[in-house]
Amino acid sequence: MKPFCFVLMPFGQKPDENNRLIDFDRVYAEIIEPAVASAELDPVRADKESVGGIIHKPMFERLMLCDYAVADLTTANASVFYELGVRHGIRPYSTVLIFAQGSRLPFDVAPLRGLPYRLDAHGVPEHPDEDRHALAERLKTCRSPVEDSPLFQLVTDWPRPDIARLKTDKFRDVVEYSRRFKDKLSAARRAGADAVRAVERELNVADADPAIVVDLFLSYRAVKDWDSMVKLVERMSPVLARTVMVREQLGFALNRLDRRDQAEATLRAVIDEHGASSEINGLLGRVYKDRWEEAGKAGRQAEARGWLRKAIETYLAGYTADIRDAYPGVNAVTLMEMDDPVDPRQAEFLPVVRFAVKNRLTSKSPDYWDHATLLELCVLADDRGAAEEVLGDALAAVREPWEPETTARNLRSIRDVRSKRGRDVGWIEAIERELQRAHDAASHRGSG
């Protein structure tokens, strides 16, 4: 039975002080996780962002009871530093600090003995084999413990904790229980909504590990069971239900259920409390976009124009909150095309959003949506040559049949409004046909 090693680190992609996006999931997968395994330890990684950023009881248990810990100090993430403080206050030794080489560490931790790892210009591990070996060796030295906590180093008579074996055995059971449920939910997502609901019936939602509850919540989203998402929030602990992430996704689910008023109120409350962001404004912008489409189909043209402009302003506020995230930006400039006359700000924002997408495409992991977004922006800019070139990249990146179908639908909206203005749209229609063929081919592969 291997000892646990708790990993404290940011998740996903986060910018460093030079605005380089660091792919922390790659850092974990290519350096930390295999290094921990090589040191004959069992890695435990808590994705706190998936539990809305709250510090909950299982998190404290992991900090206290894991025999070993690795803390990545890159980007000086506030949550990581809080967790490191808790760890150093409880455990005298066996906490290894790492950081991306070249990072500026805060003054308080700069003197501590950290282990650097190297990243390339794209924010991914540059020499993972060497850095993985160095971390594994450092973890192995922790078997002959030397105090690494500044508290225990400086305050020599600080009481050492006496962690009962019974407590650690129970903790191991809890960790294994959480892993089993995560594995069950992973399988249930592939099986469908009924399977996910069956897993929920095994849980006491109010008292379960928040990470499991959020995994369940997002599993319902994955199988498009919007009603179960809403009902689950009602059964969550009040602390978890009030987190930003849960409220964002609740607003998303309410909108999918056509409960627009409730969706708007939920999302607006988050913005009022925490300010605009690309994520929350993107979700609220979709509520207004749906209302614009509904009013237009019902022939309520004056009302539709009002919702259209509200959607534009909401998406635009989300984009200006983080101009690196092109999602609200492309929605804003596309809806500007639908206004009559075309919103003059479109000419100002199109090249900015286009730059953001191109910057994303220079990363090592662009996906279909990066290419498709650039394609949509090229069409909006009337750049036929660039659009036809980008189309090839998008078609080569198709993973699911609905992806090119969604892009074709977006381009159809642009073509329809330009056709009414007497513009040449034949070339846009040709791109739509190529996307539809890609949809049909992907559907055929999936059925075969």
Q: How does pLDDT run across 364-394, given as a tens digit for each residue?
A: 678 899 999 999 999 999 999 999 999 999 9
**What's the pLDDT at 210?**
82
Same structural domain, 156 and 169: no
Same structural domain, 34 and 156: yes
Q: Rounded to whole angstroms, how far apart are CA atoms 209 and 379?
A: 47
Same structural domain, 155 and 223: no
Domain with 230, as residue range(s), is 164-237
Q: Does residue 150 sit within a domain?
A: yes
| Phi then psi dihedrals of residue 159, to 5 deg | -65, 135
Q: Which amino acid is at 50?
A: S
**What's the pLDDT at 49?**
46
Return mean pLDDT, the chain: 90
Same structural domain, 133 and 172: no
Q: Does residue 368 sit within a domain?
A: no
Q: Does residue 431 sit within a domain?
A: no
**What's the pLDDT at 135?**
97
Same structural domain, 31 and 158: yes
Same structural domain, 189 and 43: no
Tokens, residue 365: 């992991």
Same structural domain, 119 and 204: no
Same structural domain, 67 and 181: no
The DSSP bridge pattern shows strands 95-100 and 68-72 to be parallel
pTM tops 0.95, yes or no: no
Q: Does residue 187 sit within a domain?
A: yes
**What's the pLDDT at 164?**
58
- 138, 163, 188 - which closes a domain: 163
**What's the pLDDT at 104?**
77
Ranges under pLDDT 50 in the chain: 48-49
| Nearest to 376, CA basis, from 344, 403, 348 | 403
Mention every residue, 6+ apart, whose C-beta is less than 8 A from residue 155.
none
The sign one gets for the Cα dihedral 60, 66, 67, 73 is: negative
Domain count, the chain: 2
**100-140 residue pLDDT tens:** 998 877 656 666 778 999 999 889 999 999 999 999 999 99
- 186, 220, 237 - which closes a domain: 237
Q: Is residue 34 within 8 Å of 134, Cβ to Cβ? A: no
Same structural domain, 10 and 89: yes
- 204, 237, 270 - which closes a domain: 237
Q: Does residue 218 sit within a domain?
A: yes
Q: Does residue 262 sit within a domain?
A: no
Same structural domain, 100 and 210: no
Same structural domain, 177 and 57: no
Q: Which position has the token pair 């080489």?
A: 101
Q: Rounded to whole angstroms, how far apart are CA atoms 419 and 274?
A: 41
Q: Does residue 408 sit within a domain?
A: no
CATH number at residue 118: 3.40.50
Q: Is residue 401 within 8 Å of 443, Cβ to Cβ? A: yes
Same structural domain, 137 and 88: yes
Q: Rounded to whole angstroms, how far apart are CA atoms 301 and 307?
A: 10
Q: Does residue 154 sit within a domain?
A: yes
